[in-house]
Amino acid sequence: MRPLVAVILVGVPLMWLVGFAAYAYVDAPKYGMDPRKWALISFVVPLFGFFAYVFERGERDYDPDTDPYAGGSDERTGGFAVHESRQGEERLGPAGTEADDGDDADDEWNDPDGVDL
């Protein structure tokens, strides 16, 4: 058997198994699972062991108090998340035009001149 064929038939699937096991070993502690057990299962039981790990791990809880981009009632951003490095920049309107910050009570949608609905 030629060496290239041996590498393709043996090496590539072995590399995938080692990759699945390494991912399970690194990722399992984040979910409070035993990393050695799930790495071994992912390596010994081809493909099914890795998918068993993925489906067995629980979802992480989302805590909006620790998320710097969650919600916000800042009037300038209108509730949209703006990265702190972009806070001082001037707002842009549609298609990169300058935003109209004026409060027009009659023109809620900022329609162009001549459009009356």
Q: Express each pLDDT in 1-42 by its tens digit.
A: 688 888 889 889 999 999 999 999 999 998 889 999 999 999
Q: Does 79 score more than 70 pLDDT?
A: no
Per the document, the length of the chain is: 117
- Residues 22, 17: Cα–Cα separation, whole Å: 9
Residue type, 14: L
Reading the block at residue 49, the tokens are 């062991």
Average confidence (pLDDT) over 54-62: 81
pTM given for the model = 0.51
- Residues 31, 27: Cα–Cα separation, whole Å: 7
Q: Could you tell me which of 31, 30, 28, 32 has the C-alpha nearest to residue 41?
A: 28
- Residues 11, 5: Cα–Cα separation, whole Å: 9
- Residues 29, 37: Cα–Cα separation, whole Å: 11
Q: Express each pLDDT in 34-55 by its tens digit.
A: 999 999 999 999 889 999 999 9
Is 42:20 a contact under the CB 8 Å cutoff?
yes
Q: Express each pLDDT in 80-106 by its tens digit.
A: 666 778 777 777 767 666 665 555 555
